[in-house]
Homo-oligomer: A and B are copies of this chain.
Amino acid sequence: MRPKIPSAGNVTVLERLRDAGLRPTRQRLALAKLLFARGHRHVSAEQLFNEAKAQRVDVSLATVYNALHDFTSKDLLREISIDSSSSYFDTNTGDHHHFYFEQSGRLEDIAAHQVSIAALPAPPGGAKISRVDVIVRLKG
């Protein structure tokens, strides 16, 4: 069913998982392929689960959640909470910002260099900044 020697398309994904210290299981490979195959994406757990089902990838919802969190903790993904109804996972882990289409719930990247935050007050109590998120909410 699945090759011992990974087929071409899997190689990069497999290495990516190994480099991150994650075992390249069938489930993780399939999910990583869906996530990283082409371009950057913003997906919810439910969305990814449905994509997997559509492609006959047999994986449980618990595993989708586990994988998303594992990938996030290894910096292969970034978790975004904008809409209280569910989290999004962003395959773009670099420095960037977002347009948020309020009516559809869709996210679109804004390259970091397109936004310039000229001034920011010093964090209280000498705290360290872990990241600055700019969310441009769009109506209609």
Contacts and interface: CB of A to CB of B under 8 A. Distances in A.
Interface of A: 79, 81-84, 86-87, 99, 101-102, 108, 110, 114-121, 123-124, 127-140
Contact of A137 (B110, B117, B132, B137): B132
25 contacts: A81-B81, A81-B82, A81-B84, A84-B87, A99-B124, A99-B127, A110-B121, A114-B119, A115-B117, A115-B121, A116-B117, A116-B118, A117-B134, A120-B136, A123-B136, A123-B138, A127-B138, A128-B138, A128-B139, A128-B140, A129-B138, A129-B139, A133-B133, A133-B137, A135-B135
A130 B139 contact: yes
A134 to B, nearest CB: 5
A79 B128 CA distance: 26
A119 B133 CA distance: 15
A138 B134 contact: no
Given A116-B119, A124-B108, A133 B135 contact: yes
Contacts of A86: 84
Contacts of A101: 127
Contacts of A133: 133-135, 137
A87 to B, nearest CB: 5
Contacts of A139: 127-130
